[in-house]
Amino acid sequence: MPCLQVDLHGGIENGFAILRAPREGIRFLLIPTTPISGIESPIVRGPNATNYFASAWEHRTYIEEALHRSLPRDAVALAINSVVSRSQDQLHIHFSCVRVDVWQALHRNERSIGDDWAPFNVSFFEHNYVAMWVAGEQLSPHNPFSLLQKKLPGATQDMANRTLVVIGFTRADGIRGFVILADQVNEENGDLASGEELLDPSCDIATTENMAQDSLKEPGTE
């Protein structure tokens, strides 16, 4: 897996590497340079925790470089999988383009996405996510791991079985921020809480036709 960058400005305990996933379209990984098991680790959500999601967001330019074109912030998504869906016991955040149908569903239902976790109106792959909104151009003031633990009832006792997806989002009134989606494992119905399913390494959303907002707001297939 090609390593594109290693950032050790905060020391190895706060550093990270950026890698491109081979043979999987346009998909990148942010991996801490210190051992962290995954979403369940308290290291990622303490008061002085490194905000790895914010770092991944800041390095979304790798997606643009791979596409050889600029992207609206709303086209980018970040995700971390649950313990049963991940491929390794070392925390890694996936970042790529968001699926077109996910983009459509979020914008058609933005009025239902508030400042606290609440069920999202549309299921994806028959998986039911909860959603919340945070405002801001950058993700650095908001640590999604902490928001999951502190604001979603029951999450603290079951962090390993959760997934998080962060998507750049511009509201209809022009306010910029992020939609954060969360799901949890339910093996009875086959839901393994793999937020990576909402990413699209083929980056279909980057095509001129799909980036036309009017066409994206038309009813889709979700």
Which tokens sit at 94? 């996936």
Q: What is the pLDDT of residue 57?
A: 98
155 contacts 162 by C-beta, under 8 angstroms:
yes
Using CA atoms, how far apart are residues 92 and 36, in angstroms rounded to an integer?
9
Across 210-215, average pLDDT: 51
Which residue in this structure is represented by tokens 């980056």?
A: 203
How far is the first Cα of the chain from the last one, in angstroms, to the nearest whole number? 33
Domains of the chain, start order: 3-200 (3.30.428.30)
Tokens of 197: 């399913």
- Average pLDDT on 156-185 reads 96
As a whole number of angstroms, the distance between CA 49 and CA 142 comes to 11
User: Residue 212: is its pLDDT beyond 90?
Assistant: no
Taking only the tens place, the pLDDT of each residue in 7-22 is: 998 899 999 999 998 8
What's the CA gap between 139 and 169, in Å, rounded? 11
